[in-house]
Amino acid sequence: MAEKQPSIEERITAALLPQEETQEQPEQPEQEIVETVEEVEEPVIEEESVETQQESEQVEEVEEAEEPTEETWQVETLGQLAEQIEVDPADLYNLKIPVNGSDGERKEITIGQWKDDWQSKEKSEKIASETIAIKQKLEDQLNREIQQFEKDSQQGAEFLQELHENFLNEFKTVDWKTLEQTDPTQFVMQRQKFADKQAYLENLRSKAAQNWELRQNEFKEKRVKAMGEAIEKEQKALLNAIPEWNDENVYNAESAKIRQFLKTNGYSEDQVNNITDHRFFVMVRNAMKLNDLQDQTKKVRKKTAAKVGKKILKPGAKRTNAAIKQDAANKVRQNLKKSGSVDDAAAAISNLFNSRG
């Protein structure tokens, strides 16, 4: 008949027990030696000292010999623990641990689920950090380009102003009326020269204005592109943080509730539309779910209070302490049967000892 294989919890306990036993064994030889020393008769002084010295040396040799045999082990990883209790490391990932959910409720998840959740959160934070870094880098680069453009534009404007002043000074001393009467040919030539330079300056101003507008549009496009890349990164981080939102129907329903929740709490439509940080949505979603949970709890309490009202006690047989303890023991055993967890098993054993006491 095949022997029943011990559970993981039993193997962990068995691995820990030898340490406690090895710590108690070295005390026994010392007690026997002390007793033999006390039984030696007083007249034999030399033999007593020799025997005592020999026995003490034997005790030291025994202690020195036993020290290397003390087996201690320290576990730092699941792999080490699995090797020590001789199980597959994958089996340890099925062990359950208690955690607090995002809705505030206590629940149990496996170590594997906890690991996957941690990796997902770590990935989301990494994406968020990369998004912030990329966004900041693009913003800094764009600001440098804008500053350089504004500097160049200022220098260009000063140059145009200088050309305009030189142009005015060049023809400032010309008496056009007298020149037209005295030298019509020179008048026509100077007039053409004036018109050509004036047209040249106007052309420079027009090109400068067009270049200004063109560069401004380029900066806007770069800013929109950078914002789009940042939003795309944030969207990926958001779906990693809230995997349920990969379902489009769930995303549409919950995001609509979040928008309404924000508006109810004082956010305007523009403010909601300008929110891009995925961490904000995760935080608001958790707050909204906690708020819904509290509202449901209040409603349940009100319904329960209205249904129960004032309870009228009727005369009848009073329950004994034994019956009450038996009900408690039955409840603990039912919980153990359903969950099979170590905590419920410990509670059942504790209840058994308490009932016997």
Nearest to 262 by CA among 293, 282, 284: 284
Q: For the chain of 357 residues, list the mean pLDDT of each consecutive stretch of 10.
A: 62 55 47 44 47 54 50 71 78 80 73 74 67 75 83 83 85 86 90 89 87 86 81 85 90 90 84 81 80 64 53 51 69 66 58 51
Which residues make beta-bridge pairs with 98?
108
pLDDT confidence of residue 249: 92
Residue 23 CA to residue 283 CA, distance in Å, equals: 51
Strands 96-100 and 106-110: antiparallel
For the stretch 244-278, pLDDT in tens is: 899 999 999 998 988 888 888 788 888 888 788 88
Nearest to 275 by CA among 253, 299, 287, 258: 258
Length of the chain: 357
For the stretch 87-143, pLDDT in tens is: 787 777 888 888 776 666 777 878 877 777 777 667 656 766 776 777 777 778 888
**Chain position carrying tokens 């010999």:** 65
Domain spans of the chain?
1-92, 244-306
Q: How far is CA 119 from CA 114, 116, 123, 125, 192, in A?
A: 9, 5, 6, 10, 78
pLDDT confidence of residue 31: 45
pLDDT confidence of residue 54: 55
How many of the other CB atoms lie within 10 Å of CB of 101? 11
Residue 305 CA to residue 21 CA, distance in Å, equals: 57
Residue 28 CA to residue 24 CA, distance in Å, equals: 8
Predicted TM-score (pTM) of the model is: 0.37
How many of the other CB atoms lie within 10 Å of CB of 261? 17
Tokens describing residue 90: 């994958």
Instruction: Answer for the pair 240, 124: CB distance below 8 angstroms, yes or no.
Output: yes
pLDDT confidence of residue 340: 58
